[in-house]
Amino acid sequence: MQKPRLLLHICCAPCSPHAIDLLKKDFELTAYFYDPNIHPEEEYLFRLDEMRKFSHQIGLTFISAEYDSDRWFELTKGHEDDREGEGRCDICFRMRLERAVIFAKENDFEYFTTVLTTSPHKNANVINKIGLELAKQYGLKFYEADFKKRDGFKISVQKGKGYGLKRQNYCGCVFSKRK
């Protein structure tokens, strides 16, 4: 029996190993890297390259979208001083998940989800709510998860070290880096 296709939005390689291992049991996975929030561009390119290499290493199909940082700055204008977890993050989650669901819809995926919920600094309830709203709007299924639960973050960190992945000390957003 063929597994359903799931598009997995990836924020960075170190957050992905545990989620990938859980999901590949039930889904045909494709990694999707769309993260215009990551700055500076050198950091974006590093994270993109690291995820591309990791995907190749584990035999995971990898797709990257454009680096649309101008749109990200436009959408988050007026939220530069928000603390992490406030309004700017919600805007950012929605932007990235909407691009993922549109890609999933255009390419015949049945499901989409994100590894964003791996981070202990990200509110899984907010992310899942946005994902479910977008799934309804675009007629797809959102795989609701909190990948940090049951030591998921710790497991991802350990697996990431085993793969030689570099864990960053900020989400990627220039505004969170300066705080």
**Ordered domains of the chain (ranges, CATH):** 5-177 (3.40.50.620)
User: Mean pLDDT throughout 156-178?
Assistant: 80
Is 113 in contact with 29 (CB distance < 8 Å)?
A: no
Quick: pLDDT tens for 108-159. Answer: 999 999 999 998 889 999 999 999 999 999 999 999 999 999 998 999 889 9
The pLDDT assigned to 178 comes to: 61
Helix axes 87-106, 124-138, angle to 10 degrees: 40
- What pTM was estimated for this model as a whole? 0.94
- Computed on alpha carbons and rounded to an integer, the radius of gyration of the chain in Å comes to 15
In this structure, what DSSP letter does residue 172 have?
Answer: S
Answer whether residue 171 shows pLDDT above 90: no
Cα–Cα distance between 48 and 54 in angstroms, integer? 10
User: Mean pLDDT throughout 29-36?
Assistant: 97
